[in-house]
Amino acid sequence: MNTLYLFVGYPGAGKTTTANLIAKTTGAIHIWADRERRHMFGEPTHQPEESRKLYTHLNDKADQLLADGHSVLFDTSFNFRKDRDHLRKIAAKHGATTKIIWVNTDKQVAKARATHGDHAERNGYVYKFTDEEFERIANNLQPPDDSEEPICLNGETVSDQEILTTLGLE
């Protein structure tokens, strides 16, 4: 059965690192929002209209991949329940299960990564969050509740073995 993996976590939590490990382990197709943003917009601004266009495109892409029978890693911050629910409905339409991956990293560790790290190599473009941007996103994050059956991973220590064990792939 195909699976849609959705990620929740602060900027800098380790979602992309975790997604790369899951992709390597499962063979799921990795939709990476940061890479797609760079491809679509050249020099991304992260403004609302840009994000609307990006996520409309990515939702359509995930829909098509799931329709074609692929498992999909949707690598972005699904920090709002309504967004997770929307994608869950798309997955269900194609008989796919949805796994919510909660990359639960200490807020200060994530903030240091997001506001001070050099993400050019990882993202393909340089974008550092300001302290204000980080705090706005962090304060609006809606953690998954028990009804979503989140899979909790620590973004500071995640490893291939933890992925295998936690996702039941051993």
Which domains, ranges and CATH numbers included, belong to the chain?
Answer: 3-166 (3.40.50.300)
- pTM greater than 0.85: yes
User: Residue 107 pLDDT more than 90?
Assistant: yes
CB-CB contact of 8 with 102 (8 Å): yes
Q: Residue 126 CB: number of other CB atoms within 10 A?
A: 11
pLDDT digits (tens, 9 = 90+) for 49-88: 999 999 999 999 999 999 999 999 999 989 999 999 999 9
In whole angstroms, give the CA distance from residue 169 to residue 7: 18
Tokens of 76: 């972005």
* Other residues' Cβ atoms within 10 Å of the Cβ of residue 149: 10
H or E stretch covering 57: helix 48-67
> Residue 102 is inside which H or E element, if any?
strand 97-103
* Mean predicted lDDT score pLDDT of the chain: 90
CA distance 125 to 107: 24
Over the stretch 124-147, which tens digit does the pLDDT of each residue have? 556 677 899 899 999 999 999 999
Distance between CA atoms of 30 and 23, rounded to whole angstroms?
A: 6
